[in-house]
Amino acid sequence: MKNIIPYRALTLARKELFQYLSAPAFYGAAVFFLIFSSVWLFYLQRYFALDQATLRPYFGVFPIVYILVIPVITMKSWAEERKTGTIELLLTMPFTEWDLVLGKFFSSLSVLSMMLFLTLPLPLSILPLGVFDAGTIFCEYLGAFLLGASATALGLLLSCLSKNQAGAFLGSAVVLMAVMLLNQVTSAFNLPQWLALFINFFSLSFHFESFSKGLIDSRDFLFFVLSTALFLFINTKVILFRKWN
């Protein structure tokens, strides 16, 4: 059992998760996530004035919130290891590159999943006010999870390429802003259809739109899965390069 890679990765993830839960940054990010998304729904979107039994305005702001929340979660993962020099110790331990990367990824994704779980009281509190589609809400949460998984994998990669937490946070925030809001370029400018489709393909929020509408598009589902795997794969290659250099 100990020779199975997922087991070793989960062991590392459990250790990382305990460190997250003892860090003030996690609680600050969680509070910001919950307050900002709630203010967006009830104050900026004026949810009750819409008179519609839908949570689409609520989940629609998740890509924007992720721009700041996910860098807070991932900035410490690799950048702090490099700053303190403990990454050399990790590389000498009997763990593969995939063990290390998956351990960091599972712990970061667990933290994000906790934040998503904390949002459940909001939809539960307004369910009695209308006839909501449970399937749509499930799709919206699934899309938020897949979007977060891909963004987390990207954030970990950028943390691995950074020398300190500040650089990891700024780099992740800028890159996530680009990939989250890239589809807005096609909306703001009158671009040819082929160019708009090409640009939208690289936008994470564009692939989230179908989930926010209560639809599970296999193409968007596959995009999130493959993009997450790609970012993690590149992360392992970066770790391998540093291991031999």
Tens digit of each residue's pLDDT (9 = 90 or more) over 29-54 = 899 999 999 898 888 888 777 777 78
The answer, yes or no, to whether residue 9 has pLDDT greater than 90, is no
Q: What is the DSSP string of the chain?
A: -TT-HHHHHHHHHHHHHHHHHT-HHHHHHHHHHHHHHHHIIIIIS-HHHH--S--HHHHTTHHHHHHHHHHHHHTTTTHHHHHHTHHHHHHHSS--HHHHHHHHHHHHHHHHHHHHHHTTHHHHHHGGGS---HHHHHHHHHHHHHHHHHHHHHHHHHHHT-SSHHHHHHHHHHHHHHHHHTHHHHHHS---HHHHHHHHHT-HHHHHHHHHTT---HHHHHHHHHHHHHHHHHHHHHHHHHH--
* Residue-level pLDDT at 173: 94
The answer, yes or no, to whether residue 4 has pLDDT greater than 70, is no
The answer, yes or no, to whether residue 2 has pLDDT greater than 50, is no
* Residue-level pLDDT at 152: 96
* Residue-level pLDDT at 222: 97
Compute the average pLDDT of residues 87-106. Answer: 82
